[in-house]
Chains A and B, each alone.
Chain A
């Protein structure tokens, strides 16, 4: 119950729960919330039975496309998505890594064209989260979890 008080409930919208605290701001970035006009509340380093500490984001009156929300699977594979209507959870989503990932991730190959010209990155997922192996559409090299860098997303 105490948790409820720390980040207050929303009437309608989306709750992203169980975010690893060190990924909270990257999740905000990937979801493009920086330019959002919605009311957003978030908390981090909150107590969690499962993660020890966790982050949570509540976005009022905002409902994401599945493909858009799945993009955070790359950095927060165990996050839980709850859709809220009239203070009730009406839908829950478990994240899955999208087959194709456009933008977001930087190719780890320094000689890849995407690291030299204004080309949006594009990957095919060959191993899903949490291990993660992404095949670059351009240079055909694999970017793995240890080398995963997120490109800031300020559209």
Chain B
């Protein structure tokens, strides 16, 4: 049995499918207080309203009680306590730890010093595996299957950790990727190699609407201003990569638009009412997926 969820690499194809199955069961019956005797610690060393609320909702719907902190100003960390000591202490109090931290690899380290399961809710620019699993849940829920899908991935493909984890997780399911980004934010060489080694088909483009009518999923990400050394370049690009409803006229009926949120201007508001828009439902799926992850790490094989 898996003890922690730190990186999407920790989950095999079977682990992923099992988690998604359990998430579907939780969606059918979201209030299942099966862990009323458990305490979940939610330790956020950097603020993240969305992810934290999603996890805490999941824990509450499972009947668990939640302790923790959402930023570090009032904790002993400001007194110089090491991460090791904080995690040792928290793992004595709680049955499971949900952790976000600004440093890469911090959650892997925490899992090594903790006596209870640790779930990575984001470690710096490295991993955010529960986001990936909820993305996959959204895909299987809307497409009925994870296999042989055509997925357009748009935006910041260079720094976007959700993109990197998504392509690694989806590589179990024979997808065809179209990577759409400005030159500055192109998918790094190591990920292109990763896909090639696994025989995954992909192509690259700079044009937002490329192959749009053929796609099953369009995965949008935010293009962040701070990634550009030249602000004029950013101004030029941000409008080129805005998806609007007129581009969706001839899309496949099953096509869904995903976005890890928060959105800025990469999806125009006029898309929100389109049947293709799925990003808000996607966020709700996060609660069911996280319920499944918490349940399996606390020892539930099935429901």
Contacts and interface: CB of A to CB of B under 8 A. Distances in A.
For this complex, into which size category does the number of interface residues on chain A fall?
10 to 19
Contacts of B104: 109, 111-113, 138-141
B190 A142 contact: yes
B238 interface: no
A112 B101 CA distance: 11
Interface in B36-68: none
Contact of A111 (B108, B109, B125, B127): B125
A118 interface: yes
Interface in B61-108: 82-84, 101-106, 108
Contacts of A113: 83, 101, 103-106, 108-109, 123
Nearest to B105: A138
Contacts of B123: 113, 139
Contacts of A111: 102-104, 124-125
B141 to A, nearest CB: 28
Contacts of A154: none
Interface string A129-155: 000000011111110000000000000
A117 B108 contact: no
Nearest to A119: B109
A114 B105 CA distance: 8
A116 interface: yes
Contacts, number: 50
B7 A140 contact: yes
B242 interface: no
Nearest to A115: B103
B125 A117 contact: no
B7 A138 contact: no
Contacts of A139: 103-105, 123-124, 126
Nearest to B9: A140
Chain A interface secondary structure, helix, strand, loop or mixed?
loop
Contacts of A136: 105
Contacts of B101: 113
Contact of B82 (A109, A118, A140): A118
B63 to A, nearest CB: 33
Interface string B184-228: 000000100000000000000000000000000000000000000
Interface in B210-256: none
A112 B127 contact: no
Nearest to B83: A117
B126 A117 contact: no
B125 to A, nearest CB: 7
Given A113-B103, A138-B109, 8 more contacts: A113-B108, A114-B105, A138-B104, A139-B104, A140-B7, A140-B104, A140-B105, A140-B126
27 contacts: A109-B104, A111-B124, A111-B125, A112-B104, A112-B105, A113-B83, A113-B101, A113-B103, A113-B105, A113-B109, A113-B123, A116-B103, A117-B82, A117-B83, A117-B109, A138-B105, A138-B106, A138-B108, A138-B109, A139-B103, A139-B104, A139-B123, A139-B126, A140-B104, A140-B126, A141-B104, A141-B126
Interface of A: 109, 111-114, 116-119, 136-142
Interface of B: 7, 9, 82-84, 101-106, 108-109, 123-127, 190
Chain A to chain B: the 5 pairs with minimum beta-carbon distance, closest first:
A138-B105, A139-B104, A139-B105, A113-B105, A113-B106
